[in-house]
Amino acid sequence: MIKTTAVALACLAATLQATAGHAEPGYPQRDIAFIVPWNAGGSNDVAARALDPILREQGIKIVIENVVGATGTIGMRRVASAAPDGYTIGMGTSSTLALIAQGKTPLKNADFTPIARVSTDPLMLLVSTKAPQKSLEDFIAYMKSRPDKVSIGTPGSYNLNHIFASMTARAAGVNYVNVPYTGGSKVVADLLGQHVDAGVLKPSETIGQIQDNLLKPLGVFANQRLEMFPDVPTFKDKGFDVFPYGPVVQMAYVVAPANLPADIRNRLITAFRNAIQDPRFKEFASKSAFLVDDLTGDALTKEVDNVAAALGTVAEKTFPKE
C-alpha cells in the first residue's frame, strides 16, 4: 500500500509539473474581470466597451469594472494582486506608468504581463466655448496676465496630462493651478461648467463636446496636426516647445498579473489582437481620433519599459523635488 501511494503521489506531482504554466482546458470558462482604473465614460472605458462585443465573438466575455483613484493606481493594484489565472486583466495607461517611473507608487512594471496595446492618443488643450480665449495665443496671454491663478484640469497627477499642463504654463512663463481629477469625464464636466479655465485631454474623450460646439481645442501637444482637427494648431506651430526634455507618448494597453501562464497569455494576445485589428474597432478609433497598431506580447513589454524611461526623465525635469 505504501508503494502504491508513493507511485500515486509521484504521478500526481508529475501531472502538476506538466500542467504548470499552461491554461486550463477550454479557457476561459467564465467571465473575465476587466479593470478600467478610470471613470466610466472616459476614453479608456469607452475603448474597452467598444472591444467587448468583438471579444465575445471569440469566446472572451469581459465584465468591465471602473476602479478609480490615485491616477489609476488603485485599479492597477487590484490587477497586480490578482491570481495569474487569466480571469482578471486591466487597462494600463501612460498615466499610471508615469507614477511607476517616478517611484510614486509601489507598483512596478514587473507586476504585470503586457498583452496588447489598445491605443495611442494625442493630447489637446481645451477650453469651454463660453470662455473668452479663442486661440492658443489668447490663452497664453491670459495666463501671463494672471500668474498663479489660471487653472488647468487633468485626469490624475504627475502624468503626461500634468506634464503638458506644466509645459503650457512654461510657455507662458508663469505658474498655474493644476486641478487633478479621477478621470477625463470629470474634467470635461467641470470644463463645461467653467469651474476650471482649461483642460488637457484626449480627442477621444472630448470629441462629442467639440462637435456640439461646447468645448474648443486650442492646441495639440504633438509635432503634427490631427487629421480630424486640421484647423487646430500644434504648440510647435505657434512657436511653443512642449517637448523640451524629449518625446513622450500617451497610450493604453491591456495587462494581466505577472506570471501569467504562457497558454493563457497567447489566448488573450490572439483575442485582443483580432479585436483591435477588426475593421469595426479601427473605424471606431478613426472616429474617436486615436491611433491603433499591432503591438503585443514581448514587443509591447519592451515599449512599456521605453515609455516609462522617457516619462521618468521628463517628469524629473518638469516637477520640483518634494
Residue 17 has pLDDT above 70, yes or no: no
Distances (CA, A) of 150 to 76, 174, 176, 214: 32, 10, 5, 20
In the chain, which ranges are continuous DSSP H helix? 2-19, 43-56, 73-81, 94-102, 136-145, 160-172, 184-192, 207-211, 262-277, 279-288, 297-318
Residue 200 has pLDDT above 90, yes or no: yes
Amino acid at 299: A
> Which residues contact residue 191 at a Cβ distance below 8 angstroms, ignoring those fewer than 6 apart?
126, 127, 128, 153, 198, 199, 215
Distances (CA, A) of 98 to 101, 159, 265, 290: 5, 5, 25, 20
pLDDT in tens, 151-176: 999 999 999 999 999 999 999 999 99
Q: Which domains does the chain carry?
A: 26-121+249-318 (3.40.190.150), 124-238 (3.40.190.10)
pTM: 0.83
> What pLDDT is recorded for position 306?
92
| Three-class secondary structure of residue 30 per DSSP | coil
DSSP 47-115: HHHHHHHHHHTTT--EEEEE---TTTHHHHHHHHHS-SSSSEEEEEEHHHHHHHHHT-SS--GGGEEEE
Region 227-246: mean pLDDT is: 92
- pLDDT greater at residue 302 or residue 223: 302
pLDDT in tens, 88-98: 999 999 999 99
Residue 113 has pLDDT above 90, yes or no: yes
- Which residue has cell 477625463? 184
> What pLDDT is recorded for position 136?
98
> What pLDDT is recorded for position 240?
94
Region 43-48: mean pLDDT is: 93
Mean pLDDT (the chain) is: 91
